[in-house]
Chain A
């Protein structure tokens, strides 16, 4: 039973459609991460936040994704125009200052 809650578990979108997923981090964790895990089990870091501010993001995220982590609301990651290559498991993780990272169960996106 993960303390990081991700919704929805599954998401099916057509190419060009928006795809939005949400994450409630573990209570008290100030840092939130999004990773993409592909079918070969490779992890790609997408973006991270600390107290609602973006710390780092990769080029792809900056260009094609919209992400936010407002106070008192779930964090969200949205692909503006889905592509077939975006089909993957999207994992949210949160952490404390002592670098313990807790992952959610993920949102599995299929772009058809």
Chain B
């Protein structure tokens, strides 16, 4: 079945550091790939989405490229802020509205002021 792997369970950075969160996926389909962010006490919120291989998604300074060759969708940000502290999920979805999502294990980002 489909799977998503995030190797980093926790990442701790200082403000203005570069962020890189690793994500690889496995599926037999041509998926839509998402990054969701979850703040304490809230549900996941969409950060960015890419539907087509080799395209890049950009939102709020975060970016991720859908790399079909390496089956990766790593998340990057050039300069993190304390307000970016949250849990980030790499998520795989199919191309129809009824399809369920497959979540990675999540990466807890802590940004120190």
Contacts and interface: CB of A to CB of B under 8 A. Distances in A.
A50 B97 contact: yes
A100 B93 CA distance: 10
Main secondary structure of the interface of B (DSSP, over half): loop
B107 to A, nearest CB: 10
A56 B87 CA distance: 28
Given A41-B106, A99-B32, A48 B42 contact: no
A42 B99 CA distance: 18
Interface stretch (B13-21, B44-52, B64-72, B75-83): B44-52
Contacts of B43: 2, 4, 6, 91, 93, 103-106
A100 B44 contact: no
Interface string A1-19: 0101010000000000000
A60 interface: no
B28 interface: no
Contacts of B49: 99-100
Interface residues of B, number: 25
A100 B46 contact: yes
A37 to B, nearest CB: 9
A65 interface: no
B112 interface: no
Contact of B97 (A43, A98, A104): A98
A45 B43 CA distance: 15
Nearest to A97: B97
Given A41-B105, A41-B106, A42-B105, A103 B98 contact: no
A24 interface: no
Closest 5 CB pairs of A and B: A103-B43, A43-B103, A45-B100, A41-B106, A97-B97
Interface of B: 32, 34, 36, 41-46, 49, 51, 87, 89, 93-101, 103, 105-106
30 contacts: A2-B42, A6-B43, A30-B97, A31-B97, A33-B100, A35-B101, A41-B87, A41-B105, A43-B89, A43-B101, A45-B100, A45-B101, A55-B98, A56-B98, A91-B43, A93-B43, A97-B96, A97-B97, A98-B97, A99-B93, A99-B94, A99-B95, A99-B96, A100-B46, A101-B34, A101-B93, A101-B101, A103-B36, A104-B43, A105-B43
